[in-house]
Amino acid sequence: MNTWQEKISRTGFFTSVISYVGFWILDALRPGFVARYLSVHIFLLSAIVFGAWWSLTVQEYRDWPFFQYVVAILLGILCAWVTWQTGVGFESYRLLAVAAAFIIPSIILSVVRSV
């Protein structure tokens, strides 16, 4: 059952994410092209707000199982990459920290789905 709130929040979320990625890529290709006029992080903030609103309108978290697993894997890859880039000080524990960062989004998803 799609309510009007779910439709608006879903559309706002996807529009914000696509705009953020698109403007970020344009600014990366030509520095200052977008950032000179507005911050691309405004779209990231709106994506977080619309995403939180959308998550409140979903009746059950089991509605989008494939999408949830894809997002968990992508977030795991992103977390692992960020941990690898910033984990120079971990030295011998760096690989363990990267593995933990990769698995944490999947653990959170399984906990949320079990409730």
Output the CA–CA distances (angstroms, integers) from residue 4 to 14, 50, 56, 61, in the order listed: 16, 14, 13, 18
AA identity, residue 71:
V
Each domain of the chain, given as residue ranges in start order, spans: 1-59, 61-115
What's the pLDDT at 42? 92
What's the pLDDT at 51? 86
Helix (H) or strand (E) holding 9: helix 4-29
* Residue 82 to residue 102: CA distance in whole angstroms: 10
pTM of the model: 0.56
What's the pLDDT at 58? 72
What's the pLDDT at 14? 92
Q: Tens digits of per-residue pLDDT, 48-89?
A: 899 888 877 876 655 567 888 888 899 999 989 888 888 888
What's the pLDDT at 90? 76
